[in-house]
Structure 1
Amino acid sequence: MSEKRAGTTVSSQQADDERRGLMLVLSSPSGAGKSTIARLLLEQEKNLRMSVSVTTRPRRTSEVDGVHYHFITQDKFTKMADQDELLEWATVHGNSYGTPRELVENSLSDGSDVLFDIDIAGTFQLYDKMREDVVSIFILPPSIAEMRARLTKRAEDSEEVILKRMKTAVSEMSEWKKYDYVVINDDLDRAYDAVRSILKAERLRRKRIPSLEPLIDAMVEDLQDVVDQSKQD
């Protein structure tokens, strides 16, 4: 029996070390609890980092460049968009926001997962650019009454703004079938556990660990060597 074949081994640690990262997208209408779930994931998943967008919006005094956003000029932003250096982007209230392609691709190549807290339009742009790397989850509130109650309880918005958010939610919730998973957030602990379970399962997908194929092929040959040797004996 070939010593090379007999020595072929695989391990879960090796598979994890050589895994390609994934892009975990969370989307939801306002009041569904998406931001809370995202915060818990970042606190408890050591191999998960938040996608940091570039923006042309002026930096607030409480913000740190490179942590909250990468603050750039409009000319720089336009150049990045024209050269396909942004995976998704949008203009909101006169300011532009986008996801730098290079930073995300470097993270995925390093085996790190990237978390996106974006709307449906941004999600569909990511689909167009890197669908195989995207795992999308739509977070739903248990009812519209509960969604409105949560928005009101936050005491951050006027009644007019709350109604505007709910109007926006009509188009957002209509797109739920285009997401890979749907999680109903009627209980935060259960919803968080569901999202975390999805993340753990998606990390084990065969396509994310391409280095396994030659190793398993070698193990099959090892097995054939054993069978062939037993016949000779």
Structure 2
Amino acid sequence: MTARLTVLAGPTAVGKGTVAAFIRAHHPQVWLSVSATTRPARPQEVEGVHYHFVSDERFTEMVEQGDLLEWAVVHGRAKYGTPRRPVEEAVAAGRLPLLEIDLQGARQVRETMPTARFVFLAPPSFDDLVSRLTGRGTETAEEQATRLATAQGEMAAQSEFDHIIVNDDVERAAAELVSLMQSA
């Protein structure tokens, strides 16, 4: 049985990583892709679980060798990408594969895997998104401003997605996403 890939995207700080972590912990039937990134690990992030942390040089090699399903420079700084082979293997094995990526990446996946299901994770409001970003304390004020400017454009892209899930409660949003993934 071949599974259908689900792509979860949304604006910065909407809680994509938090929803994905909840799914990882509570829904073992879902296979979560682990992205590669050139940014440094944040506190509590684990290599191979949250991301594959790689050098710029290694990331460039991965791009040149066609090893990434999608990739992008995010917020004008770090590079992020999805290793291709593990995703293709999960789909072929009939698992419930989930990519948690940014808008640029989702657009690239739509080009290469148009049969995927695309889900936009939205905040209850833009003010809530601002509070989440500033409240997590992981970026400088300059980085926050850049991310919020990016988020405004990302919010405008909701119509490009097959489904929209509002992240007003992590457990509820995760359950809705998993239910969607289990449907035809």
For residues 185 and 60 of structure 1, what CA distance do their matches in structure 2 show?
22
Residue 135 of structure 2 is aligned to residue 153 of structure 1: yes
Q: CA deviation at 1:105?
A: 0.9
Structure 1 residue 87, shift from structure 2 partner: 1.0
- How do residues 1-233 of structure 1 correspond to structure 2 at under 5 angstroms? 19-55=1-37, 66-67=48-49, 68-69=51-52, 71=54, 74=57, 77-91=59-73, 96-132=79-115, 134-201=116-183, 205=184
SS of 2:113's equivalent in the other structure is helix
1:20 is aligned with what amino acid? T
SS of structure 2 residue aligned to 1:81? helix
Gaps of 5+ in 2: none
Question: How far apart in 2 are the matches of 1:119 and 1:145?
Answer: 20
Q: 1:59 to 1:185 in 2, by over 3 A?
A: closer
From the superposition, tell whether residues 48 and 196 of structure 1 become closer, same or farther in structure 2 (CA, over 3 Å).
closer
Matched-pair contact (CA < 8 Å) for 1:25–1:136:
yes
1:27: how far off? 1.3
- 5+ residue gaps, structure 1: 1-18, 206-233
* Match in the other structure for 1:231: none
SS in 2 for 1:131: coil
In the alignment of these two chains, the number of paired residues is: 182
Whether the aligned pair in 2 keeps the contact of 1:54 and 1:72 (CA below 8 Å) is no
Q: Separation in 2 of the partners of 1:172 and 1:62?
A: 27
- Counterpart contact for 1:65–1:71, Cα < 8 Å: no
Quickly say closer, same or farther: Cα 1:187–1:96, change in 2 above 3 A.
closer
Identity %: 35
TM-score by length of 1: 0.66
Q: In structure 2, the residue corresponding to 1:20 is in which secondary structure?
A: coil
The one-letter code matched in structure 1 to 2:148 is M
What secondary structure is seen at the aligned counterpart in 1 of 2:138? Answer: coil
1:91 Cα offset (Å): 3.6
Cα shift readout 1:65-96 (whole Å, capped 9, x = no counterpart): 5443174772x644543443321112456654
* CA-CA distance at 1:32 after TM superposition: 2.1
* C-alpha displacement of 1:141: 1.1
RMSD between superposed Cα atoms in Å: 2.9
8 Å CA contact retained: 1:55, 1:70: yes
Say if 1:86 and 1:100, in contact at 8 Å, map to a contact too: yes
Give the helix-richer structure, 1 or 2: 1
